[in-house]
Amino acid sequence: MSIEEPMSVAGTKQGVPNAEVEIDVALVHTLLAEQHPDLADLSLRLVETGWDNVMLRLGDELAVRLPRRALAATLIEHEQRWLSELAPHLPLPVPVPLRIGLPGAGYPWRWSVLRWLEGTAADLALPNADQGPALAGFLQALHQPAPADAPPNPVRGIPLQERLPAISERLQRVACLTDCITPAVRACWEQALSAPIDADPTWLHGDLHSRNVLVQDGALSAVIDWGDMTRGDRATDLAAIWTLLPDSTSRATAIQAYGPTPEATWQRARGWAVAFGVMLLDSGLVNDPRLAKAGEITLRRITEGP
C-alpha cells in the first residue's frame, strides 16, 4: 500500500482514495479466461482492497493484483519490470510477477499474477523483538547501487526539504487532532531537515511501513507492495526500523546490525519515520482507523527511541 500526497487544495484532508474502476471476481475471472485460460478454473476470492490495488487469491498458491486507480497503473509496471531482477538478491520473499495481464474486458491497465505469500501484515501481527537483525539484513541486501533508469519517484528517496510543505501541513493537522506530535517528534523532524545527505543513492523499496511487510509466527516473512521502488536516499527505507519494530531494544539491535552508518543518515531516517507516521495518521483519521493506528504507533516509537 503506497501512501501518496493529497491531490486536492491545501488544507483539505484526504483519506484512502476512491477506486477509479470497479474490480470484482467476475471481472478478474473474465480477464483470466481471456488471457491466461489455464488459470481460469482455479478458485478466486477477494482478499484486500488497498490504497492503490485490489488483491484476490487465486487457488491455493497464486494471487492476482490489479490497480484500482490510474496512478497505480504506472507503479505496477515498475514491479513487473524490476522485481524479478531484485528478488534473487533479497533474503525475504517479494511478489515477483509470474504472469503479466494486459488491458481487457473493459479494464484499462496492466495487472499481475503472483505467487501467494504467506503471512499477516505487520500492523496486525507484530514481529517479535528478535527481528531487528532480519530487518537489517534485508535492508543491507536491498541498499545496493541502482541503475540510472531505476523508476523515478517524486516523493521517496529525495531530500526531506522537498517534502517540507506537504509534511508540515499534515503535521499541523495531526497536532491539532491528537497528542502524537510531541516535542521529541518535532525535534527529530527539525534535525532531519538539516541533516546532509551523506551517502550515494541505492535501490529503495520506498514505502516500508507495517502494511507492506508480512509476519508469520513472529518472524518477517515477506515484503510486498513495491510500487514506490526507486533509486535514492537509503534513509527513506531505514525509517522501517520505527514503522516495524516493537520496542527500543529491537530498534537499537537493528541499527547496530545494519552496520557502520553516518549519524546524519540515522537523523534523516528518523525524519522519514516522522513523515510516514504523519502521513499514515493524517490519512487514516479520515476514513481508515487501521491506517491511523499504524501512524500513531510509529510516532509513539519515535518518542520512545532509540
How many H-runs (helices) and E-runs (strands) does the chain carry?
Answer: 10, 10
Cell numbers standing for residue 175: 497536532
Beta bridge partners of 231: 203
**Three-class DSSP category at 170:** helix
pTM of the model: 0.94
Tens of pLDDT, residue by residue over 266-297, are 999 999 999 999 999 999 999 899 999 999 99
Q: Do domains 25-117 and 129-304 have the same CATH topology?
A: no
Residue with cell 499504524: 294
CATH of domain 25-117: 3.30.200.20
Radius of gyration of the chain (CA): 19
Q: Identity (one letter) of the amino acid at 239? A: A
DSSP state of 282: H
pLDDT at 73: 95
Q: For 56-79, how does the pLDDT look when each residue is reduced to its tens digit (9 = 90+)? A: 999 999 999 999 999 999 999 999
Q: What distance in Å separates the CA atoms of residue 68 and residue 66, rounded to the nearest whole number?
A: 6
Q: Which residues pair with 219 in a beta bridge?
A: 216
The one-letter amino acid at 6:
P
Q: What is the pLDDT of residues 171-227, one digit of tens each?
A: 999 999 999 999 999 999 999 999 999 989 999 999 999 999 999 999 999 999 999
**Cβ-based neighbours of 88, under 8 Å, separated by 6 or more:** none
Q: Are 131 and 240 in contact (CB under 8 A)?
A: no
User: Domain map of the chain by residue range?
Assistant: 25-117, 129-304
Q: Is the pLDDT of residue 10 over 70?
A: no
226-242 pLDDT per residue, tens: 999 999 999 999 999 99
Check whether 50 has a pLDDT greater than 90.
no
Using CA atoms, how far apart are residues 48 and 4, in angstroms rounded to an integer?
18
Q: What is the mean pLDDT of residues 150-163?
A: 97
Cα–Cα distance, 300 to 52 (Å, whole number): 27
Indicate the DSSP class of residue 13: -
Distance between CA atoms of 221 and 91, rounded to whole angstroms?
10
Superfamily of domain 129-304: Aminoglycoside phosphotransferase (APH), C-terminal lobe (3.90.1200.10)
Please check whether residue 248 is in contact with residue 258, taking contact to mean a CB–CB distance below 8 angstroms: no
How far CA 27 is from CA of 64, 108, 285, in Å, comes to: 12, 12, 32
**98 exposure class (CB count in 10 Å sphere: 0-12, 13-18, 19+):** middle
Q: Residue 8 has what pLDDT?
A: 34
| Rounded distance between C-alpha atoms, residue 253 and residue 260, angstroms | 13
Helix (H), strand (E) at residue 66: strand 62-67
